[in-house]
Amino acid sequence: MIRLPPPVPAEAVLDLLIPGADVIVPLANGEPTSILDAIEAAADQLEGVRIHQMHALRDRPYLHGVYGDRLRHVSYFLSHITRPAYWEGTIDLVPNHFSEVPTLLRRSTRCTVVIAACSPPDQHGYFSLGTNADYVVDLIGRVPIFLEATPHMPRTRGANLVHHSQVEGWCESDRPLIEVPRSEPNDVDRAIASLVAERIPDRASVQIGIGSIASAVLDSLGGHRDLGIHTELLHDGMVDLVEAGVVTGAYKEVRRNRVVTTFCLGTRRLYDWLEDNAVVELLGVDFVNDPRVIARMRRFNSVNATTEVDLMGQCASETIGGRYWSSSGGQADFARGAMYAEEGQAFIVTPSLTRAGDSRIVASLTAGSVVTTLKNTVDHVVTEHGVAELRGRSLADRARALIAVADPSARDDLNRAARRLGLFV
């Protein structure tokens, strides 16, 4: 008979917050809302506490500097919630590759305590971190952990289980999970997706990002067979492919017959589907996104979006108009892994024009924009006008291929710019 320690008030976490504490919080729905409520309520008693988190989805006063240096947020990926706060200067942003965040946290912070949302404990005394594994699972058993159990969190399998003996304390809440419906594709998205899907072979393992082009790519894969999923983010569109038998994982070299991810974000349908689903494994991001792991999978295909590509093939995927918008995430992780995989392919996708009608294929990146995926790593750039194959090509040939997939209205200017830059004569 397992004797669980009883739940305690969320305020009990305050006993762990020493001056200068570094508090690690999972991304998205892994955030324990009641615990953070308690921390904010006691902010006047805190001293130099930092909350480290990627992609926060709930707005909070401390994000806007209400508590000054007593309680401050450190982001590793900006969301629509934290982006304005970063622009206001009330939070910090640490550049990173997603695969390396666990190492960054261990080396650059005290890792004072992990606080996380979870499912209620099972009969064996284990809590599940549900939708998340991300950078937190690497700290289980090594760092004090305080949990918030909610019945809305699905119990999932993988490396994200925490035994009650590893928990400093746990509380309960009835908070719902945030739902993020899929982005509906338009005709441009579907044109891009068709060009990508026809190049992905049967039996490939895939990583596909989020957004309307990603939704269209998943829709376009319905006629494929025996695909495998090894992705940082699992969302609703992937459920459709599993249920249709398109995804089996039978030919994966890593975690065969399993859908592998490091976090999940979607609608209630996804969260219900995850409940005790043995085919899904939630594993740490330092495994899932490790290019060396990805490279072990034959025919690995990654699909990720960008906002701007210059004529050398450099992709700026985390800034818009020279202003920070998100962060690197796992784009470079998967592009590098696909580069090393036998018969691997990496696709960078983007509409040829912005909503304002400006070309996303540019002579030089906008001032203030940063390179997310290096020119030496970029493989294919896909717009609705075609596929620019860049790997192994000269700078002149790269420029010509990219101009060919730019919007026709931009091509003359791009040709003139390429000559001015000395890319070709």
Sign of CA dihedral 304, 310, 313, 314: negative
Identified catalytic residue from 232, 281, 308, 384 = 232
Helix, strand, or coil (residue 230): strand
The residues with which 22 forms a beta bridge, in sequence order, are: 50
What does the alpha-carbon distance between residue 337 and residue 344 come to, in Å, rounded to a whole number? 8
Q: Record the tokens describing residue 264, joined without a space.
A: 């999940």
Alpha-carbon span 342 to 398, nearest angstrom? 23
Rg (CA), the chain: 22
Phi, psi of 190 (to 5 degrees): -65, -35
| Amino acid (1-letter code) at residue 13 | V
Q: What are phi and psi of 269, to 5 degrees?
A: -60, -45
**Catalytic (active site) residue 40:** no
Q: CA of 326: how far to CAs of 110, 169, 307, 401, 423, in Å?
A: 25, 33, 11, 28, 31
3-state secondary structure (DSSP) of residue 208: strand
Identify residue 40 by its one-letter amino acid code. Answer: E
Token reading at 249: 């994982």
Which residues fall within 8 angstroms of residue 74, CB to CB, at 6 or more apart?
A: 50, 51, 52, 53, 91, 92, 93, 94
Asked whether 26 and 117 are in contact (CB, 8 A), the reply is yes
Instruction: For residue 252, give the nearest of 223, 272, 277, 281 by alpha carbon.
Output: 281
**How far apart are alpha carbons 378 and 382 in whole angstroms?**
11
CB burial of residue 83 (10 Å; 0-12, 13-18, 19+): middle
What the block records as the tokens of 171 is 């509380």
Active site positions, annotated? 232
